[in-house]
Amino acid sequence: NAGVTQTPKFRVLKTGQSMTLLCAQDMNHEYMYWYRQDPGMGLRLIHYSVGEGTTAKGEVPDGYNVSRLKKQNFLLGLESAAPSQTSVYFCASSPGASGRTDTQYFGPGTRLTVL
């Protein structure tokens, strides 16, 4: 099993450009998450999904949109990139959201720079 994969691994954007980050998992997990990680800020939840066709806002959702059309995929979109969105983005999945089933498995990350 590949686990959680993310594409692309690196990307440089200019301010105002748009892009989509793709996350895929082959563990049949119900829950999927998008985080950003910045120095001194830790992991911050952007959006999450509790199942196919559902999405919900996390701690820092502004400037991002998500979609979960298929259970195995979770897409994160930036409509108009800003320098403040320069970060490392991690996707994660978990079987559930209670107790041990909340164990999250992370993808390798996408390093995004917005100039």
Residues near other proteins (CB under 8 A): 40-43, 45, 48, 58, 90, 97-100, 102-109
Least Å distance between CB 38 and other proteins?
Answer: 11
Least Å distance between CB 4 and other proteins?
Answer: 8
Q: How far apart are CA 90 and CA 99, in angstroms?
A: 22
Question: In the complex with other proteins, which residue's Cβ is closer, 83 or 108?
Answer: 108
Question: In the complex with other proteins, which residue's Cβ is closer, 22 or 43?
Answer: 43
Contacts of 71 (CB under 8 A, 6+ apart): 28, 30, 51, 52
Question: In the complex with other proteins, which residue's Cβ is closer, 12 or 56?
Answer: 56
Q: Beta strands of 8-114 (E only): which ranges?
A: 10-13, 19-25, 31-38, 42-49, 56-57, 64-67, 73-78, 87-94, 105-106, 110-114
Least Å distance between CB 42 and other proteins?
Answer: 4
Least Å distance between CB 10 and other proteins?
Answer: 12
Question: In the complex with other proteins, which residue's Cβ is closer, 1 or 98?
Answer: 98
In Å, how far from its chain's centre is CA 29? 15
